[in-house]
Structure 1
Amino acid sequence: MADKSRSVTKRKERKEKESAEVVKEVRNEGDKDGGEVSSEAATSNGENGELQVEPMELPPFEIIAGDRIDPFVFKFQFKNVEYSSGRNKTFLCYLVDRGDMADGLLRGYLEDEHTGPHVEEAFFTQCIPHYDPALKYTVTWYVSSSPCSACAAKIAEVLKVRKNIKLSVFAARLFEWEESEIQDGLKMLHAAGCKLRVMKPLDFSYTWETFVENEEQPLNLWEDCKDNYEFYQEKLADILQ
């Protein structure tokens, strides 16, 4: 099974309480009643000229959000193996510096279930919904796998429109890197100013300490972590050259 299935089938709504908890975890502001992100709100963003991309319907029950990842889930989903059978989700750990020291860094993670929007799309709607063109956003993602071609195109469009967002994407694995459309998407991201890199062993340790319920236990890296990093980094360098 590939990292990311492309199903467009809607999954059943979760309980209202679960939806509210999801939004509460990912957002510091409580200005949306019930935690719902409506398709009308997404359309409004486009009409204001702040984000000239196709509006996305993003019910909160399709994206799992939180502060720290379960350690067993992290070790499975972020393992940088070449053949990633069974890893059919994407985890995105994020840091956002909005250039305002009073607000501090935004930190958390998103997880998709591939029944609707992917985490790369959801980030811009859920994590920085109140985009301010006067601020300078420095955004860092640590993702379990690199974006699919559709997400890469949408991210590139965001970066072209929102010039004050500087995005760095560090990926544990490269998603279907042999496919030409995936390679084109990565090139598109790179051309749009996104910094792309494969996660180094130190990045896994940092992500473990910052985004995982580690109970103050260090991460014991798997034996082939460094070799796998070098493999993927070589492939990425070949794609972006």
Structure 2
Amino acid sequence: MADRKCMVMRRKERKEKEAAKVTKDVKEVKNEGDKAMDNGEIPSAEAAATNCAADNIQNGDLQVEPVELPPFEIIAGDRIDPFAFKFQFKNVEYSSGRNKTFLCYLVDKGNTADGLLRGCLEDEHTGSHAEEAFFTQCLSDYDSALKYTITWYVSSSPCSACAAKIAEVLKARKNLKLSIFAARLFQWEEAEIQIGLKALHAAGCKLRVMKPLDFSYTWDTFVENEEQPLNLWEDCKENYEYYHEKLADILE
């Protein structure tokens, strides 16, 4: 009982520490050329209304109505800026200012001629989320005759609307297997978020929280690191264990 009380106190201290450091973190990112970031997470209900409008999925094809999008809603590339990675992928509990989603992906189509597809997506939470953009942009040439094995490393787990859409895609495209490794759980206390994560799990998606080794792998594979190793932040392992426990409780 005393150990659990101490753990709660330590988590409270970490939140206060992160709250004090977040302004400094944002300034460091700005000074290194990263784009300015607004404070605060967009509530999932608002995000669902503005970013993840429901699309019909018929016969395994994702039906998307054409819309004119403002520039730089979705940024696609091969590598992530190292300062953006260290800020956005940091697995803290207090995530103020981290209002983007970074999605790093690997796609194996089971065709050795095509090789392994690799890349990154970044959203601004002003239009399509990175999870939705992956299916409409990165898998625009989807072929039902192929077997897809897809792995995502994301800065936070999907919002409720995106989780529901991903689940629909997985149900419609039986030849597609998806694994999601998330640095943090997005608003995991909310009932609708938990429902979305359970729906993903039920649809066959493998949900995991990123371990320290996963952060190092993502750094080596998807970040412009100039061959510099990643120095993991304080409490990385402890924060992983915290989120791992929460996800296990949600999915049980």
| TM-score, normalised relative to structure 1 | 0.81
Larger radius of gyration: 2
AA matched with 2:200 = L
Matches within 5 A, 1:33-48: none
Among candidates 51, 57, 77, match of residue 61 of structure 2 = 51
AA matched with 1:91 = F
> 2: distance between equivalents of 1:138 and 1:235?
26
Among candidates 166, 185, 195, match of residue 206 of structure 2 = 195
Matches within 5 A, 1:130-209: 130-209=141-220
Among candidates 209, 214, 221, match of residue 225 of structure 2 = 214
Q: Are the counterparts in 2 of residues 58 and 122 from structure 1 also a CA contact under 8 Å?
A: no
Q: Are the counterparts in 2 of residues 89 and 112 from structure 1 also a CA contact under 8 Å?
A: yes
**1:3 Cα deviation (Å)?**
3.9
Task: Give CA deviations for 1:216-239 in whole Å, capped at 9, x if unaligned.
Answer: 000000010000000000000000
CA 1:198 to 1:57, structure 2 compared with 1: closer, same or farther past 3 Å? Answer: farther
Task: Give CA deviations for 1:91-131 in whole Å, capped at 9, x if unaligned.
Answer: 00000000000100110100000111100000001001011
SS at match of 2:61: coil
CA 1:56 to 1:176, structure 2 compared with 1: closer, same or farther past 3 Å? Answer: farther
**1:51 Cα deviation (Å)?**
2.2
Q: Which residue of 2 aligns with 1:32?
A: none
Matches within 5 A, 1:52-131: 55=65, 57=67, 59=69, 61-131=72-142
**1:145 Cα deviation (Å)?**
0.2
Q: Which runs of 5+ in 1 are unaligned?
A: 11-42
AA matched with 1:50 = G
Q: Which residue of 1 aligns with 2:24?
A: none
**1:75 Cα deviation (Å)?**
0.1
| TM-score, normalised relative to structure 2 | 0.77
> 2: distance between equivalents of 1:74 and 1:83?
16
AA matched with 2:153 = Y
Q: Which residue of 2 aligns with 1:237?
A: 248
Q: Which residue of 1 aligns with 2:236?
A: 225
Q: Which residue of 2 aligns with 1:17?
A: none
**1:50 Cα deviation (Å)?**
2.9
CA 1:110 to 1:58, structure 2 compared with 1: closer, same or farther past 3 Å? Answer: farther
* Count of aligned residue pairs for this structure pair: 207
Q: Are the counterparts in 2 of residues 138 and 165 from structure 1 also a CA contact under 8 Å?
A: yes
Q: Are the counterparts in 1 of residues 101 and 122 from structure 2 also a CA contact under 8 Å?
A: yes
CA 1:51 to 1:139, structure 2 compared with 1: closer, same or farther past 3 Å? Answer: same
Q: C-alpha root-mean-square deviation of aligned residues, in Å?
A: 2.1
- Which consecutive aligned stretches of 4+ in structure 1 deviate over 6 angstroms post-superposition? none
**1:62 Cα deviation (Å)?**
1.7
SS at match of 1:176: coil
Q: Which runs of 5+ in 2 are unaligned?
A: 1-38
> 2: distance between equivalents of 1:58 and 1:157?
25
**1:57 Cα deviation (Å)?**
4.2
SS at match of 2:217: helix
CA 1:52 to 1:126, structure 2 compared with 1: closer, same or farther past 3 Å? Answer: closer
